[in-house]
Structure 1
Amino acid sequence: MSEDVSGLTLLGSSVRGPVDHVESFPAPAHCTKVRFTTDEVASMCPVTGQPDLSSVEIVYVPRERCVESKSLKLYLWSFRDRKVFAEALAVEIATEIKRAVEPESVRVVVTQHARGGIVLETTSEL
């Protein structure tokens, strides 16, 4: 394999639980935008402890590195038992993407599904 994947510790391993970080690999030439979406991010309300289910969209413009998707999945899993408001969730995810790959830009949209008849959408752009 010609790509430098020496920093990838999760891909190809038997890790089957949440992690606290996202891993990256060298961005291929001419990759101009990356978009991830999922409808399966769970967290808990910081006040009531009730479960919150959210959709998450992550869009970033890579420079030299790209997010490895298995590590992203395991990172998003880490919110399952955490008490966090949707607004803070969007900021925390965007901050981790920024840390991991130093993109030109990153945009994270968290859409918290209806509980009590209200859908919440929050955005963080770095």
Structure 2
Amino acid sequence: MRGMSDTPQPKFLGANSPLPASPEQAELDYVPNPRKGELYLVRFAAPEFTSLCPVTGQPDFAHLVIDYAPGDTIVESKSLKLFLGSFRNHNGFHEDVTVGIGRRLFDEMQPRWLRIGGYWYPRGGIPIDVFWQSDAPPPALWLPDQGVSPYRGRG
């Protein structure tokens, strides 16, 4: 894990960092949890997330909300921003993109718990919302609503 043993400081923080060409090429930095042992929730919201439809190549837009209870590490936010930005030219179904982001973060960071809500804007008149979590949340974890209303069109 970068940030723990490879280098003492995150690779991207404070550096001029180009957007990775693909999610596979994107590196995520993890740093030691400054409150190791505490049960708390971290939330990242990406209200302007984009990827490409794997069939038409047209852009797909989503509001992503990532919640996690840290274990030994936390994800460095600039590396997360670059990782999410790398999907801009990535072809993927909503389900694959949403679950893939959650799974990669969970597998690499190894938090106590993680969930992701992918609130995708309509294509062909149907909004698709995709939700994934690693397991049941830990007891006593304050878990606020993700705060994204279901799509209501012009209503």
* TM-score where L is the length of structure 2: 0.74
Structure 1: runs of 5+ lacking an equivalent:
none
Paired position in structure 2 for 1:108? 116
Q: How many residues align?
A: 124
Identity across the alignment (%):
35
Q: Distance in 2 between matches of 1:117 and 1:47?
A: 16
Is structure 2 residue 60 aligned with structure 1 residue 58?
Answer: no
Structure 1 pair 70–31 and aligned structure 2 pair: CA distance change class (3 A):
farther
Paired position in structure 2 for 1:27? 33
Structure 2: runs of 5+ lacking an equivalent:
135-155
Structure 1 pair 73–82 and aligned structure 2 pair: CA distance change class (3 A):
same
Deviations 1:69-101 (A, max 9, x none): 000000001111111011011111112211331
Structure 1 pair 66–31 and aligned structure 2 pair: CA distance change class (3 A):
farther
Identify which of structures 1 and 2 has the higher relative contact order when contacts are C-alpha pairs closer than 8 Å and 6+ apart.
1
Q: CA deviation at 1:22?
A: 1.6
- The answer to which structure has the higher strand fraction is 1
Q: Spell out structure 1 runs of 4+ moving beyond 6 A.
A: none
Partner of residue 10 from structure 2, selected from 1, 8, 11: 8
CA RMSD of aligned residues (A): 1.8
In our comparison, the structure showing a higher alpha carbon Rg is 2
* TM-score where L is the length of structure 1: 0.89
